[in-house]
Amino acid sequence: MSLGKSIYELTNLFTIYRWNNRPALLRFTEADNVFHSLILDLISIEYLNKKGYNLPISSNIKAKIFKELPKIILSDVSLDTKKRILEKDEKMWKMVLKKSYDELKENKIVQFFESDYDIKFKKYAQFIDLMVSLKEMEINSRIFPEYFEGPKQETEKNLRKLRLNLEHINELESILNYVLKTSTRLTTMYRWNKNHRNVKSSVSSHTFMVVSTAIIFYYLDNRNNDKLLDEIIIASILHDFPEAFTGDVITPTKKKVKGLENIISTIEEEMIEEWLKRDEDTILIFERFKKYMINPFDNEYGRYVRASDLFNAMLECAIEIKSGNSQILFREAFFNMKKELKQFNFDFIYELIDEIEKLTFFN
């Protein structure tokens, strides 16, 4: 399987909806869910490092993505079903995961993410995954308590157990809840909003793809610079976070009148500052991250983030075209972004673009 096709298959997580056997007010896709865990993982690592933990960013973020890759094959298995499988035969579930990873060996992206959580961070990562699941349940249980109250109570119970063994968890959890309340807005924002979509992608699911692809681009470019990889990951995770405040102002609107783009950037910065000032603990954690939110495409790390952002916008166009969406917009955008991507002069980009083009128009 070509690398381009492997990246294309990662977009399967756009169409795997969680809690699919229950009515829901808001459905998170697997891609949405991973994004929220990634941003909370990043914040937790920063917080714990300020407490002297010395946790690496890149290996822990890659470990989260690696953990989710079997869902490309398995789709979503609910927490309740998975729990019951583990109770009946834990070895059986481990065999299912092993077989899935074996199948994924044909998928070339696996090699870029194979990583384990730092032992000191693993339980925090489990706590964060449960927090994100609980957020989904809390939203939906307001309308459908008869379907969500049971799993909600079970998740709250599991969170209470984990809290007993996690240092600094009260202050950290407060920060994470503050951020999650805001990042959830990105799941309700759909890209290409004024156009019909056959396969919808939210800002949060798009961000998950940008993070994943930016990591792949870093390795394809044969870089060996841990600080650069960390910066690429931070900027990728946060590059669209300001849209939680401003909404999705599309590029043609920003460029409609000279100077409007600069005004919007100023507004983004003002809104971020106002949001941070409303929570003193959060502002301390974000002091290092703020520049990556406001200027995600600056400096060396920005080349990878911007290229990944464009590549995934092109990929979204490819999905629409391949699914039979006949709007000319998606064809025009596909070829405009193809042209723009080639200007980055990454040696690997030409072959990837060709692979996506063949998948879109000739398969």
**Domain extents in the chain:** 3-361
- Measured distance CA(40)–CA(34) in Å, rounded: 10
Task: Assign domain 3-361 one CATH number from 1.20.120.80, 1.10.3210.10, 3.20.20.70, 1.10.3720.10.
Answer: 1.10.3210.10
Query: Which of the four pLDDT bands, split at 50, 70 and 90, describes residue 71?
Result: confident
Kindly report, residue by residue over 159-197, the tens digit of the pLDDT: 999 999 999 999 999 999 999 999 999 999 999 888 899
Where residue 251 falls among pLDDT bands split at 50, 70, 90? low
Closest CA to 124 of 237, 33, 232, 46: 46
Q: Is the pLDDT of residue 94 over 90?
A: no
Amino acid at site 162: L
Say whether pTM exceeds 0.75: yes
Stretch (H or E) spanning 12: none
Contacts of 161 (CB under 8 A, 6+ apart): none
